Amino acid sequence: MSSPERNESERLSKAVIILEALVRRLRGPGGCPWDAQQTDASIKIYLLEEAYEVLEAIETSSAEDTCLELGDLLFQILFLAELASERGEFSLVHVIEKITEKMIRRHPHVFGDKELNNAKEVAFNWEKIKQEEREGKNDKFASFRSVPINLPSLLRAHRLSERAAKVDFDWAGREEIWEKVQEEFEELREAIEVTDTERVGEEIGDLLFSIVNLSRHWSFNAENLLRLANKKFLTRFEEMHSELEASGLSLENASPGQMDQAWERIKNKRGH
């Protein structure tokens, strides 16, 4: 290891040790009353929020914000590890050791003598190793149960259908899943025509699930697509607001028709 690499390694070790000690200080006698009261249940929501803030920073391509948000996320991880350590369950060291062991085991083409030639072969072998790990636990459905219930529903649908595809329970291709989307849309139309509220809800769910699979077959993740669509909607809504104000109107006083016209002008400016 060269001197700059050694210095960086020492700096990293010191930084982790200092942050872990800071968490213990916050939880310990004379520390922060709020931090001392926290539990796994109360912290998990912050963990989720910080993860989404990291995503937002990445999507805005802000290196500074991404760095800061990753720090916030890391703090929540260390905090949860400290809570487990206080209960005598595991420590941050165990967390790091276990993920290191897992990554070495899952990358035999890097740390062993396995030969894999491309990313597709790597992904296939990764799933094969995971399957072997599950078989060792004698749980045939562990791959499905391992998809967290609390994931955003679109993302969970993507992961579940992804798992099903691994065992060849999937549509043959894009054309087949497109036909399924059209079929689900037709079933929704029929439910709407007969004003069957319960069935309308069910058919909307089926349509959403089929669209998730259509996205997957086109190498997209529906959760990411909807996040981008939400962002686009908000941007256009703000631009529509500005467009109305420029013409002497406010959102409160503009008619639906005037808002639609402003919206269309914004769309035309953007080309779609």
Per-residue pLDDT tens listing for the chain (272 residues)? 677 788 888 999 999 999 999 999 999 999 999 999 999 999 988 998 999 899 889 988 889 999 999 999 999 999 999 999 999 999 999 999 999 999 999 999 999 999 999 998 998 888 888 878 777 665 667 778 778 888 889 999 999 998 888 878 899 999 999 999 999 999 999 999 999 999 999 999 999 999 999 999 999 999 989 988 998 999 999 999 998 988 888 888 889 999 998 888 888 887 66
Q: Domain of 259?
A: 224-270
Look at residue 137 in the predicted model and tell me its pLDDT. Answer: 64
Among 260, 226, 268, smallest CA distance to 240 is for: 260
CA distance 65 to 71: 10
The reply to whether 102 and 186 lie within a common domain is: no
Say if pTM beats, i.e. exceeds, 0.95.
no
Look at residue 1 in the predicted model and tell me its pLDDT. Answer: 67
The reply to whether 156 and 245 lie within a common domain is: no
Number of domains in the chain: 3
The reply to whether 79 and 57 lie within a common domain is: yes
The reply to whether 213 and 239 lie within a common domain is: no
Residue 157 lies in a domain: yes
Residue 142 lies in a domain: no
Residue 136 lies in a domain: no
Residue 127 lies in a domain: no
The reply to whether 179 and 228 lie within a common domain is: no
The reply to whether 195 and 251 lie within a common domain is: no
> Which CATH number goes with the domain that contains 59?
1.10.287.1080
Residue 137 lies in a domain: no
CA distance 194 to 209: 23
Look at residue 63 in the predicted model and tell me its pLDDT. Answer: 93
